[in-house]
Amino acid sequence: MKIAMIHTPLVGRGGGQRQILKLAFELQRFGHEVEIFTSAVNKEKCYPDIIKKLKITVIPHPLGKKLPKLFIPFEIQQKDEDIKEAAESSFLRSWMRKAMGRQFYTAPYDFPTMINIGRKIPEGFDIINNHNFPSEWAAFLAKKRLNVPVVWMCNEPPDWFFASEARKGLRKINWPIYELVDKTASSYIDEFLVLSKIAQGHVDKAYHRPSRIVRSGVDIELLHNASGTDIREKNGLNTDFVLLQVGNFQRSKGQADSIRTLYRLSKNYDRIKLILDGGGPKEELIKLSEKLGVKDKVIFLHSNNDEELAKVYAACDVFLFPEQITWGLALIEAMAASKPVIASNKCGGSEIIQPNVNGLVFDQSKPEEIAQQVKLLMNNDDLRRKIGEQAYEYVNNHLSWEKYARTMETIFEEAIKTYKQKI
């Protein structure tokens, strides 16, 4: 097969970026011809070891460098000085981002960029596989030109369909237009793929279309064989019970809940620490840890590559995942590292957890409830070890990148066959 993949800018390390790059690499290894189309690439920050092995075509915004920086998302800036300049730019930019959220960039950056990609994907492909929103806009236009099927790996539909706050304030101006554009584009999708039942619900609500669950993979061998000794020694954790949460520092990620959980546990356990590994502003989290008197028990890290991150997973005793999200790559990575995980049942990753077998699940993101789950594991070494081992076994048997790619390969072949029968 000759496969065209479409993604938003590949400029950082994240679950979506890793997913498409790993899938492309595996499909290429199977003998398929794969080409990724995107609007920007940072070959130094976005999984450089994988990117250099793939064919990636950059089709930038039609105005190129002429587009005012006001309308360029922070993450698209290629140089550190540009990122700093963008972050410190005008009051208008800051106000518009706060008032309109991601929609502030949709019209000036995302829409023309995706249209440009859709117009310029060349002929000769058998299938189009688009990933993160709003790549479906490019896929829709490319399908009309190339007359081939589209399979959307819909990790997350745009939030304005199911989050009421995304349609308030100034967002009301753009929301009806974006809804029309997105629903038109999505009507041309031949098959929706999602990571979880939670994501299925979002797709059904947004597009009233069925979807198929296909779970992606993790780097099992790297995570399972890593040692956390260096991390523990470097941070003076040799005698501590270590909690870990991995993810960029955002309110929606729930790091504040992990700090509050630490606070409750520290009342009864002196040798307990919390590692928060991620990027982004952490001032609010530092202030919270100071207010609760646990600043000396919170360690902020920012792993620069997969090898460093694998060591951080290996260094912890229990992994916390309070996020409410359609999947949760970090949760699966911790399981691959043989760590007992405690996850919110509002995250898609919790769907693979059997309580007290390969993980623990809590109903609400309440620190007191999370703390009780941690205590259970702290006081039972055998249970903690057993859950970690079962977590690894599940991931090893079901969630490798090769298995994910083989499943996608079959879906692509089916989609091509079905599409040809309709013509």
The pLDDT, as a whole number, for residue 13 is 83
| Best CA proximity match to 104, nearest among 178, 21, 7 | 178
pLDDT in tens, 311-337: 999 999 999 999 888 999 999 999 999
Q: If pLDDT is split at 50, 70 and 90, which confidence band does 175 have?
A: confident
CATH code of 220-398, in short, is: 3.40.50.2000
pLDDT in tens, 134-150: 999 999 999 999 999 99
CB-side neighbour CA atoms (13 Å) of 2? 8
Q: What is the mean pLDDT of residues 299-321?
A: 96
The pLDDT, as a whole number, for residue 109 is 87
Q: What is the mean pLDDT of residues 97-122?
A: 86
Q: If pLDDT is split at 50, 70 and 90, which confidence band does 168 have?
A: confident
The domain covering 2-217+401-422 belongs, at the CATH homologous superfamily level, to Glycogen Phosphorylase B; (3.40.50.2000)
| Best CA proximity match to 380, nearest among 276, 260, 286, 241 | 241
The answer to which of 78-92, 103-117, 283-297, 391-405 has the lowest mean pLDDT is: 78-92
Q: Does residue 315 contact residue 244 with C-beta atoms inside 8 Å?
A: yes
| Best CA proximity match to 248, nearest among 201, 301, 287, 196 | 301
* Cα-Cα-Cα-Cα dihedral sign, residues 68, 73, 79, 84: positive
Contacts of 325 (CB under 8 A, 6+ apart): 346, 347, 348
Q: What is the mean pLDDT of residues 280-294?
A: 95
- Both structure tokens of 240: 């501590």
Q: Rounded CA gap, 397 and 226, in Å?
A: 19
Position 84 pLDDT exceeds 60: no
Cis peptide leading into residue 62 (ω within 30°): no
Q: Taking the CB of residue 126, how many other CB atoms lie within 10 A of it? A: 19
The pLDDT, as a whole number, for residue 171 is 79
- The 8-class DSSP code of residue 122 comes to P
Q: Does residue 320 contact residue 373 with C-beta atoms inside 8 Å?
A: no
Highest mean predicted confidence (pLDDT) among 24-38, 39-53, 69-83: 24-38
pLDDT in tens, 40-61: 999 888 899 999 999 999 999 9
Q: If pLDDT is split at 50, 70 and 90, which confidence band does 186 have?
A: very high
Q: What is the mean pLDDT of residues 63-91?
A: 65
The rounded percent of the chain whose pLDDT value lies above 90 is 74
Q: What is the mean pLDDT of residues 161-186?
A: 83
The pLDDT, as a whole number, for residue 413 is 98
The pLDDT, as a whole number, for residue 115 is 95
In the chain, list all ranges with CATH 3.40.50.2000. 2-217+401-422, 220-398
Q: What is the mean pLDDT of residues 286-304?
A: 96
Say if pTM beats, i.e. exceeds, 0.85.
yes
Q: Does residue 408 contact residue 27 with C-beta atoms inside 8 Å?
A: yes
Q: For 195-262, where are the E strands, in sequence order?
A: 211-213, 241-246
The pLDDT, as a whole number, for residue 220 is 97
